[in-house]
Structure 1
């Protein structure tokens, strides 16, 4: 159960990281704008996917109880 909540927090972290990469165009090195937008977008999409998966698992575990 704790893993599901940790997955939610991790998903939020990925979304915030994606936004930071898009705004500052930096991820361990200075990025070109196109690369920054693509990488930031992928990080945001992955964060949304992690949150969706965690919410689905939390709902499933509550239904089983």
Structure 2
């Protein structure tokens, strides 16, 4: 159960990281704008996926009890 909540927090972290990469165009090194937008979009999408998966697992674990 704790893993599901941790996955939810991790998803939020990925979304914030994606927004930061898009705004500052920096991820361990200065990025070209096109690469920053693409990388930021991938991070945001992955964060949304993690949150969706965590919510669905939390709902499923609630139905089992």
TM-score (norm 1): 1.00
| Structure 1 residue runs without a partner (length 5+) | none
Q: Runs (4+) of structure 1 moved beyond 3 Å?
A: none
CA distance in 2, matches of 1:14, 1:24: 15
Shift of 1:9: 0.2
Q: What count of residue pairs does the alignment treat as equivalent?
A: 65
Q: Look up the match of 1:18.
A: 18
Match of 2:43 in 1: 43
Q: C-alpha offsets along residues 1-38 of structure 1, whole Å, 9 cap, x if unaligned? A: 00000000000000000000000000000000000000
Runs of 5+ in structure 2 lacking a partner?
Answer: none
Q: TM-score, normalised by structure 2?
A: 1.00
